[in-house]
Amino acid sequence: MVSCVAFACLAQCAAALTLGTPINFWLLRQEGVVSADEDRLVSAYISSLRVGDSDAEEKALAALTARTIAVEFEPSCHSASTSVVELVELSDGVLAEEIGVDGPRTFMMPGSRVARVDQVEYAAGGLGARAWDASVGLGIYLSQNTRFVLGKSVLELGSGVGLGGISAALVGASTVMLTDVTEGETERRELAELGGAALMQNLVANARLNDVETATATRILDWFDCLADDFEPHAKYQVVIGADLVHDEKYSLPALAAAVATHTAPNGIALLMNGQGRPGVNALPAALQRYGGTVQVEEMTVMHSYGSAGVLLTTYRPGSSDRPT
């Protein structure tokens, strides 16, 4: 993908774009799929910006977003000189890169759909405070594979800032329920920095920011409640989605699997994208298979201009029961 040097040039030569200056290019690549076209398409887009050719720019951007590529733009209130890549500690010494920006993060997804998400302070929202690589990857996947969510009811588990659910709403899901958990300071430390009231408030604001508030709703959903024998979901959904739901061994895979199984409608589907290499991720398929049905896992890579991350797309289709065997 394009190097940081190219972005320095972009900041100087891109004058006034409707969405601002592009600061990152994201590519979701399936395992075994190799293509050299992405660099050529990005180069064509950069060239159109340099010469100020708006027609060529529009065509080049359309060509990019016809692929599994998202273009991230700099917020209009943000200065290019302060775009930085930060190392953020998740837990137990696990580090992840994130791009630090002020204001809503703006992504043009495949199909030229624009998704904007405000983030919250890590201290207020824990691990859900940021849009991580897998959530961008899930947004790209849903935007490129619209058949999964078009006209369907969608539940997003562990929404965080809501990028996956908002992408589903922009694609044309009939309804989207954004969910997360609110925990006090003590509980958040004990449960690996989960949730916070700020997350729920931010989800409502992000739905409004994308003009999808009429198609979306928010709800507190604690996966551990789904383990109870007498648990009844508030509704079942044709599609259940989630990104970066497994981070370390502190998370309860049985609780996550229960949340997925109890909320996925018969003949429905769950699409869960998680980063590779994190403890517990490889145990997710077995946890889901306790509920019957079928589970498939596909390796993918989320590539961006500052690096890449391996992800696993876990697809779950329910069996005849939503109770574990």
> Per-residue pLDDT tens for 229-261?
999 999 999 999 999 998 765 557 899 999 999
* Interval 163-194: pLDDT, tens: 999 999 999 999 999 999 876 444 444 554 56
Q: In 3D, which of 99, 120, 87 has the Cα closest to residue 25? A: 99
Q: In 3D, which of 89, 30, 20, 90 has the Cα closest to residue 61? A: 20
Residue 8: is its pLDDT beyond 80? Answer: no
Number of H helices, E strands in the chain: 10, 13
CA distances from 299 to 33, 203, 223, 253, 294 (A): 11, 29, 25, 20, 17
Looking at residue 251, its pLDDT comes to 58
Domains and CATH numbers, the chain: 74-317 (3.40.50.150)
Q: Which is more confident, 311 or 132?
A: 311
Looking at residue 264, its pLDDT comes to 98
Looking at residue 195, its pLDDT comes to 62
Q: Give me the amino acid identity at 35.
A: S
291 near 257, Cβ under 8 Å?
yes
List of E strands, 7-68: 22-30
Q: How far apart are CA 254 and CA 300, in angstroms?
A: 24
Looking at residue 151, its pLDDT comes to 98
List of E strands, the chain: 22-30, 69-73, 84-91, 94-100, 105-109, 113-117, 153-156, 175-180, 216-220, 237-243, 264-275, 294-304, 307-317
- Neighbouring C-beta atoms of residue 298, cutoff 10 Å: 12
284 near 134, Cβ under 8 Å?
no
Q: Structure tokens of 31?
A: 């395992």
Q: In 3D, which of 241, 45, 52 has the Cα closest to residue 160? A: 241
Q: How far apart are CA 173 and CA 156, in angstroms?
A: 12
* Interval 32-83: pLDDT, tens: 776 668 888 888 998 998 888 888 988 998 898 899 999 999 886 543 333 4
Q: Which is more confident, 137 or 33?
A: 137
Q: How far apart are CA 131 and CA 98, in angstroms?
A: 8
CA distances from 97 to 21, 89, 102, 133 (A): 21, 9, 16, 9
169 near 176, Cβ under 8 Å?
yes
204 near 244, Cβ under 8 Å?
no
Q: Structure tokens of 280?
A: 């517990």
Q: Give the pairing type, strands 237-243 and 175-180.
A: unpaired
Average pLDDT estimate for 123-127:
70
Average pLDDT estimate for 259-280:
95
Q: How far apart are CA 150 and CA 172, in angstroms?
A: 5
